[in-house]
Amino acid sequence: MNNEEIAAILKKELNLQEVHVTGDGNHFNVIAVGEIFNEITSRVKQQQYLYQPLLPFIADNTVHAVNFKIYTPELWQRERKLMGM
């Protein structure tokens, strides 16, 4: 599975404004940006929300590990400025 496939699954299945994925084929780092995270404030619930569409790929070991960084659009704009983007 590649970065674009992970991003496409998350964008298709979830209400996200932006998804950025990096990884090496079975370990992935995901930046997820969405208004939904204004409503889902628990970090655990946010991660569960993001893991849900990936569970079949985790179960069959296509995806071994996923690390999420989760932002509301407002927080993401601030983070991008701090990163000089």
User: Is residue 83 within 8 Å of residue 43, measured between CB atoms?
Assistant: no
Pick the CATH number of 3-82 from 3.20.20.70, 3.30.70.3340, 3.30.300.90, 3.40.140.10: 3.30.300.90
**What are the residue boundaries of the structural domains of the chain, listed by start?**
3-82
Q: Give the span between the Cα atoms of 85 and 14, in whole angstroms.
A: 25
Q: Give the span between the Cα atoms of 34 and 70, in whole angstroms.
A: 8
Where do the H-state alpha helices sit in 1-85?
3-13, 36-39, 43-51, 55-59, 73-82
pLDDT, tens digit (0-9, with 9 covering 90-100), for 7-66? 999 999 999 999 999 999 889 999 999 999 999 999 999 999 999 999 999 999 999 999
For 8, other C-beta atoms within 10 Å of its C-beta total 13
pTM of the model: 0.92
